[in-house]
């Protein structure tokens, strides 16, 4: 699907279908040429309302306002509707007057993310016939906008969208196909493709490093664990950022077994690891002058005779001991060792991202990621980056009372708090116990359990994996400079 810019007026551009946004129910603006038909069809132009008129070669899409995220979502809705047809080319005008670069990027991302669907295992996959999308310089506000030098914004949108769709693909993979070993092989292939350094540590190396928490989670799995390390290191890098991702390719809950419904989508429990793989690929392609390291703990949490148990005491890489109260609180155990490994050298920031707790959905709803940490300025910068990227983020606050809930009588810390309240935050505080004192202000934790996987389309996202965290982290890294 190729996106191009044109200085021609919309009526002079040849295409199979024209996309027209109906802004805030306004059926009278200059791009609307079928007002009588719209009235006959009782089309009100409400947000997310769509009407395709094949005989007129036009599609009308309701949009409540012209904020960038609204543009992105409306364009995605148009793409999601049209990919089901035999239409091969689209055209659209500009619906913004200021910051044309960000507007072009938003429109492009809407088309590229909205047209996605996961069809790998369909015997008769639905073909996406859209070959070309032409964006006209003609403007809804009747203002002249120069678009000659905005091709780089389309290129940026293509790189970011390709990375998000890559993450969606691997998160959607069935767990018997995307094993920890397969994940490491995908990482190898992408490292080669994107000029990244890669190092993969197996079970023996993890044992030598003393990663007792990570290894315990893996004990019952038929597949060995892997720690995947990738590095993008440009010349004269201005900052160094470390990303750590939870890579549970499947999570049964272990001996603290999940109910059937709770287990159904647990192939997505490597969503955090998938996101940071997509991010480092995009950063390399964008050629940003920032060193990025990605560390992934890839394993399964299975059941069997070798499974770790509630009441076990584990020792993490930094020597801290952990009393296991729930084997389904396993992601934080894997991340604890990965965070210890990540802090062997100096850096500017360390961010971990994980589908960690259902409690984050209780706190913020199913579409919003939770960010937390000891540095409020960093938390708020991540929040602002989310707004720019189109993702939703809310900040969950630490306080001095909650750490007491993680107290253990026989070990240094429990993996589950003594109270059911605030469990998204206590999970973040657990991870904070494995951040060295000198690095506390450099760290943030992002819980993407809510938006990572859905059974219905929403915004620019399809059914299934959304690629949550990918656009957010790319935008945040761009803003670090």
| Active-site option among 332, 442, 471, 478 | 332
Distance between CA 469 and CA 481 in Å, rounded? Answer: 19
Q: pLDDT tier at 393 (50, 70, 90 boundaries)?
A: very high
pLDDT above 90 (res 481):
no
332 annotated active-site: yes
| Active-site option among 155, 258, 315, 381 | 258
Last residue of a domain, one of 98, 113, 142: 142
423 annotated active-site: no
Give the number of domains in the chain: 2
Question: What pLDDT, on a 0 to 100 scale, did the predictor assign at position 291?
Answer: 98
Assess whether 136 and 179 both reside in one domain: no
Q: Is residue 267 within 8 Å of 252, Cβ to Cβ?
A: no
* Stretch (H or E) spanning 92: strand 89-94
Assess whether 74 and 197 both reside in one domain: no
346-376 pLDDT, tens digit per residue, is 999 999 999 999 999 999 999 999 999 999 9
CATH code of the domain covering residue 63: 3.40.220.10
Assess whether 137 and 166 both reside in one domain: no
Q: Nearest to residue 132, comparing CAs of 17, 10, 3?
A: 3
Q: Does 43 reside within a domain?
A: yes
Domain range holding 69?
2-142
Assess whether 86 and 184 both reside in one domain: no
Distance between CA 354 and CA 378 in Å, rounded? Answer: 18
Output the pTM of the full model.
Answer: 0.97
Q: Which residue has the higher pLDDT, 145 or 33?
A: 33
400-453 pLDDT, tens digit per residue, is 999 999 999 999 999 999 999 999 999 999 999 999 999 999 999 999 999 999
DSSP 408-438: -SSSSEESS-SSSTTHHHHHHHHHHTTS-GG
Distance between CA 304 and CA 248 in Å, rounded? Answer: 17
Q: Does 151 reside within a domain?
A: no
């Amino acid at each position: 699907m190729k996106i191009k810019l044109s200085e021609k007026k919309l009526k002079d551009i040849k295409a199979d279908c024209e996309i027209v946004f109906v802004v805030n129910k306004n059926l009278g603006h200059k791009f609307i040429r079928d007002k009588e038909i719209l009235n006959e069809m009782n089309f009100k132009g409400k947000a997310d309302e769509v009407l395709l008129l094949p005989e007129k070669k036009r599609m009308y899409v309701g949009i409540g306002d012209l904020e960038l995220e609204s543009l992105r979502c409306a364009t995605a809705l148009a793409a999601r509707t049209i990919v089901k047809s035999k239409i091969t080319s689209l055209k659209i005008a500009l619906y913004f007057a200021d910051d044309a670069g960000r507007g072009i990027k938003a429109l492009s991302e809407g088309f590229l993310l909205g047209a996605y669907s996961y069809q790998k295992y369909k015997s008769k996959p639905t073909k996406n016939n859209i070959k070309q999308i032409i964006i006209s310089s003609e403007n809804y506000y009747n203002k002249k906008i120069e678009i000659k030098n905005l091709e780089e914004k389309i290129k940026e949108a293509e790189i970011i969208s390709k990375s998000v769709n890559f993450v969606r693909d691997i998160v959607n993979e069935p767990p018997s196909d995307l094993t920890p070993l397969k994940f490491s092989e995908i990482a190898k292939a992408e490292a080669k493709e994107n000029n990244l350094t890669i190092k993969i540590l197996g079970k023996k190396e993890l044992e030598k490093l003393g990663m007792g928490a990570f290894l315990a989670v893996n004990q019952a799995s038929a597949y060995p664990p892997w720690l995947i390390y990738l590095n993008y290191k440009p010349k004269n890098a201005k900052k160094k950022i470390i990303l750590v991702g939870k890579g549970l390719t499947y999570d049964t809950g272990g001996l603290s077994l999940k109910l059937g419904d709770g287990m159904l989508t647990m192939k997505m429990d490597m969503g955090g690891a998938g996101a940071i793989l997509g991010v480092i690929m995009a950063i390399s392609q964008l050629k940003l002058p920032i060193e990025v390291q990605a560390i992934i703990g890839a394993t399964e949490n299975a059941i069997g005779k070798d499974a770790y148990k509630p009441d076990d005491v584990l020792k993490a890489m930094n020597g801290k001991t952990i009393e296991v109260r729930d084997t389904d609180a396993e992601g934080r155990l894997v991340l604890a060792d990965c965070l210890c490994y990540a802090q062997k050298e100096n850096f500017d920031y360390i961010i971990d991202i994980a589908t960690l707790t259902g409690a984050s959905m209780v706190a913020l709803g199913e579409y919003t990621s939770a960010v937390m940490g000891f540095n409020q300025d960093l938390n708020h910068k991540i929040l602002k980056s989310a707004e720019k990227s189109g993702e939703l983020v809310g900040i969950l606050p630490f306080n001095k009372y909650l750490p007491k809930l993680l107290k253990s009588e026989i070990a240094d810390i429990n993996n589950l708090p003594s109270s059911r309240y605030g469990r998204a935050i206590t999970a973040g505080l657990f991870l904070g116990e494995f951040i060295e004192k000198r690095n506390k202000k450099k760290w943030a934790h992002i819980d993407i359990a809510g938006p990572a996987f859905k059974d219905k389309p929403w915004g620019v996202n399809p059914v299934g994996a959304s690629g949550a965290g990918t656009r957010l982290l790319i935008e945040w890294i761009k803003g670090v400079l």
